[in-house]
Amino acid sequence: MHVLVTGGTGHSGSHIIPELLSAGHQVTGLVRSDEGAAAVTALGATARRGDLRDLDDLRQAASESDGVIHVAHRQDLLPVGGMDAVAAAEIEVMNAYRDALAGTGKPLVAAGSIGSPGHLGRAATEADAALPADDEHSGTLRMRNTVESTVIGFAEQGVRSSVVRMANIAHSTVDQHGFLPTLIALAKEKGFAGYPGDGSNLWNAIHIRDVARIYRLALEKGEAGRYWHAVADGEVPLRSLAEAIGERTGVPALSIPLDELMVPGYFGFLANIVTNSYPASNLITRRDLGWEPLEPGLFDGLDNGNYFPAR
């Protein structure tokens, strides 16, 4: 299969490309720069110069492929319009893919997020549809939810579309910009590893190589209109994570009262996120894609030599 991959130089994409190539697929990576072209070429893929802003070129690139994996985002829009602007631009990109793939049955696998399911009173599952943008529980993910719903809707137009919902934490030996490095940096800066309230709220995590295999399996055999959960550790108490970080940095793990979190302080822009609970299940993904996590879990991953000196 000839696969178009966007975001091939990022954390996810740089693992998805080798995963596809090892399974015998041909890969073209959309890149904006000579540096990006060199990176995807080094992975073994063909580089195609392009930009997410050029929708006509995206349609052409998608139409020439046997399927698309989309993990790129318009990060340039974050400073001027925030996540709403990024998501609005992404809907335009998704519609360009729809134009190219409608009626073909070709796969489109797009990146999504596991939002806060606290209103459910249980772990989120792949059967849970994205909340409407105007739902009171959609919160900061309201526009991201709209992107997911848009992609899922393409199934009715002859696209084998699906969404891979990413865990809060995707860890690896090369993770530099995710939640985990951020939490570790905060502990070092503040002199303690903080957690909100009693720290019983739950996060989820996965190794990035396990993520890459889910994308490949969704591309190869995932049914249209489906959500997949890129989650290995589905219920990690934030206090346990703070204690693990504190133990490895030599600082205490301390509670931060909830009424102090919503003002600038320890967590900064993460305050709205760290107070939420994100329990998530992967049972449907495992059953329907035949996927099983093979890589180290979150707490073993902390000792992979990337986040802390090897012990």
Q: If you write DSSP's letter for every residue of 100-152 in order, what string do you get? A: HHTTT--EEEEEEE----GGGTS-B-TTSPPPPTT-TT-GGGHHHHHHHHHHH
Q: Which amino acid is at 188?
A: K
What's the rounded Cα separation, in Å, for the pair 182 and 203?
A: 15
The residue behind tokens 């699906």 is: 162
Query: Which residue ranges form the domains of the chain, and what is each CATH number?
Result: 2-169+207-232+280-289 (3.40.50.720), 173-203+235-279+296-301 (no CATH)
Task: State the pLDDT at residue 258.
Answer: 81
Segments of the chain scoring below 50 in pLDDT: 137-140
HEC-encoded secondary structure of 199-222: CCCEEEEEEHHHHHHHHHHHHHHC
**Which tokens sit at 211?**
């993520």
**Which tokens sit at 216?**
């490949």
What's the rounded Cα separation, in Å, for the pair 282 and 232?
A: 7
Cα 198 to chain center, whole Å? 27
Beta bridge partners of 62: none
Beta bridge partners of 169: 205
Q: Are 4 and 21 in contact (CB under 8 A)?
A: no
Q: What is the dihedral of CA 130, 132, 137, 142, to 10 degrees?
A: 90
**Which tokens sit at 302?**
């902390």
Report the DSSP pairing between strands 160-166 and 107-113. Answer: parallel
What pTM, to 2 d.p., does this model score?
Answer: 0.93
Task: State the pLDDT at residue 217.
Answer: 98
Task: State the pLDDT at residue 264.
Answer: 57
Give 80: exposed, middle or buried? Use CB within 10 Å, 0-12, 13-18, 19+: exposed
Q: Quote the DSSP letter at residue 163.
A: E
Dihedral class, residue 114 (left if φ above 0, else alpha if ψ from -120 to 50, else beta): beta
Longest dimension (CA), the chain: 57
What's the rounded Cα separation, in Å, for the pair 156 and 213?
A: 26
